Amino acid sequence: MSELVIQGFTPPLRLADFRLAAFDMDSTLISIECIDEIAAVAGRGAEVAAITEAAMRGEISDFKDSLRRRLALLQGVPESVLEQVLQTRLQFNPGARELCAALKAAGLKLLLVSGGFTYFTAYVAAQLGMDFVRSNELELKDGRLTGGLVMQAWGEICDGEEKRRMLLQCCADIGCLPSQAMAVGDGANDMPMMSVAGLSVAFHAKPRVREQAMVAINQGGLEQLLNCLV
């Protein structure tokens, strides 16, 4: 498989033409799927990971249903497991810091939009200097996961459609067109936001996502995207 695949345009593109960069978190900016790691630490890894993999490949069409099924398996897991995953398992993917720093230096706003959880997106957003964040909030009671999510002002679950809506909302908020946005992800639930962005980037992605992306980074780090931009 080629390290970098480009389709639908002739590089380089002008970085100055972009105003917003939207990123998925799990398996894109960071090397793990947080829900799988929570389950693994809690001794429930195999069943949760199987649902995650099927959802990211697009074999489970309803992301909300797949997330609810996985969360139900985590009912009763202590909050301390979240901290353990954050401290011992969460690592940034190669090039994540470099790419985000370069985009910010060029004046782009950064959006972190994730089907993962606020416990982890807050840390990642702070580390990478994100301007906007949308993700799911785990519900806790008496220091343990309930197996549910907290209803937020925008809704309960950040799925593919919510990712798309959030990208468009951020474009409107900063006064740019969707064609001036780039979207970076790896799974089926990233495809809706990638479909409306001016530049879609698949990072070590599932086959369906690679096939539709304008740029597919199949090996190496995220900083390779900068090779397509001037």
Give the residue numbers marked as catalytic. Answer: 24, 26
What distance in Å separates the CA atoms of residue 201 and residue 34, rounded to the nearest whole number?
Answer: 21
**119-154 burial, b if ≥16 CB within 10 A, otherwise e?**
bbbeebbeebebbbbbbbebebeeebbbbbbeeeee
Q: Report CA Rg, the chain.
A: 17
What distance in Å separates the CA atoms of residue 6 and residue 227, rounded to the nearest whole number?
Answer: 11
Residue located via tokens 């793990």: 32
DSSP designation for 12: P
Among residues 194, 183, 163, 169, the alpha carbon closest in space to that of 22 is found at: 183
Sort strands 138-141 and 132-136 into parallel, antiparallel or unpaired.
unpaired
